[in-house]
Amino acid sequence: MAAKKTVKKKAAAKIRKIGVLFGVENTFPGALVEHINALEIDGIQAEFVHLGGVQEASDSGYAVIVDRISHDMPFYRSYLKNAALSGTQIVNNPFWWSADDKFFNYALASKLGVAVPKTVLLPPKDYPPQINTRSLRNLEYPLDWAGIFDYIGFPAFLKPHDGGGWRDVFHVHNPEEFFRAYDQTRDLCMTLQAAVKFNEYFRCYVVGQEKVRIMPYDPRRPHEHRYVLDSPEYDPKLLARVEKDALTLCKALGYDLNTVEFAVEDGIPYAIDFMNPAPDADLHSVGKESFTWIVDEVAKLAIKKAQAGPGTLDLNWSAFLKGPAPAKKAAAKKVAK
């Protein structure tokens, strides 16, 4: 009787899902999911995130989530923090993103040696109903407006300390224009920042704190035409400094996906805006070439994180600001002589 052959079945690879959480975007989320799945990497699958009511300390089911919308949706932000507790790696870190603001960014950049325009943080023009004069006894009144204007100079930009999308941004040329604009800012905490008389302006995509794509940009154009697709040649030394400063900022802030904007005056790139952890990635605004680069690099980043396994499980809250600890290198073996 012939011996039965033992057939060993190959164990199926554990599926590590990459989820994309998004809002009104139409081109990037779908392209990212399609690109990751088209690579057909064993054990890796991408999809749009699906969720309903969220149980406390529950596993999200995702190895990685690429977050494009939680800054506008508190429910999503809380869901992502809960997911991080079970080891899901979030792009970008929801704990740090919740704690960050643009005024802190400018202060940090200054400490790091990255050029930024002079900036002053201002108290809000109006206050919430529960705030009264007794709540403001630590606040100087009236403010030293002459000193502030002397430090910043005009023209200047009045803008929210944690805003985005050019909302509530005012270009002011004198004290009269400033006060007219300030009166419209409601209870927003604002900054007043010196304007940069720029000749060149760049928006840099930074992915994984390693890859940088420098995109010429003109904030003076209508929104849909701000990316300059027919750009001139630039000084290689200027581009090298822009790339270096963009990486310096994103590494210090801990963002895996960000855009850093620089306005260049007299050859000096001033970092203007670098708190964009869900930056514009629409095909119709960034252009086909940049769109393809962004989709490919974000896909590589998400796959790398999924393959690396769960993020930090240290339940000390501050650990979530730092993100996963880097993998330890294997100790070199000693060779006997």
195/1: higher pLDDT: 195
Predicted local confidence at residue 306, as pLDDT: 96
Q: Six-digit token pair at 288?
A: 């086909």
- For residue 40, the domain's CATH number is 3.40.50.20
**Average pLDDT rounded to a whole number, residues 119-144:** 90
Q: Is residue 190 domain-shared with residue 215, that is, in the same domain? A: no
Instruction: Reply yes or no on whether the pLDDT at 163 is more than 80.
Output: no
Looking at the structure of the chain, the number of domains it has is: 3
pLDDT of residue 6: 45
Residue 328 lies in a domain: no
Q: Chain-wide mean pLDDT for the chain?
A: 90
Structural domain includes residue 111: no
Domain assignment present for 106:
no
Res 12 pLDDT > 90: no
Which helix (H) or strand (E) segment holds residue 202: the answer is strand 200-207
Mean of pLDDT values over 176-192: 96
Res. 253: pLDDT tops 60: yes
- Would you say residue 143 lies in a domain? yes
Task: Return phi, psi of residue 82, to 5°.
Answer: -65, -40
What gap in Å lies between CA 183 and CA 126, rounded to an integer?
Answer: 8
Percentage of the chain with pLDDT > 70?
90
Contact 297, 208 (CB under 8 A): yes
Please, how many CA atoms are within 13 Å of residue 207, restricted to the half-sphere of its CB? 21
CA distance 65 to 206: 18
Q: Which domain holds residue 140?
A: 118-194
| 304-331: average pLDDT | 69
Q: Residue 230: which CATH number?
A: 3.30.470.20
- Does the residue 269 lie in any domain? yes
Please give the residue that has the higher pLDDT: either 287 or 230: 287
Q: Which amino acid is located at 10 in the chain?
A: K
Q: pLDDT-based confidence at 312, cuts 50/70/90?
A: low
What mean pLDDT comes out for the span 13-25? 93
- Per-residue pLDDT, 129: 83
Report yes or no: 48 and 33 within 8 Å, Cβ to Cβ. Answer: yes
pLDDT digits (tens, 9 = 90+) for 65-86: 999 999 999 999 999 999 999 9
Same domain, 23 and 92: yes
The 10s digit of each residue's pLDDT in 318-328 is: 777 776 555 44
Whether the per-residue pLDDT at 330 is higher than 50: the answer is no
For residue 318, being part of any structural domain is answered with: no
Query: Does 182 score more than 70 pLDDT?
Result: yes
Per-residue pLDDT tens for 104-129?
A: 999 999 999 999 999 999 999 998 88
Residue type, 40: E
Query: Which among 142, 165, 194 is the end of a domain?
Result: 194
pTM, two decimals, is: 0.87
* Domain identity same for 61 and 24: yes
Position 336 pLDDT exceeds 50: no
Burial class (CB in 10 A: 0-12, 13-18, 19+), 50: exposed
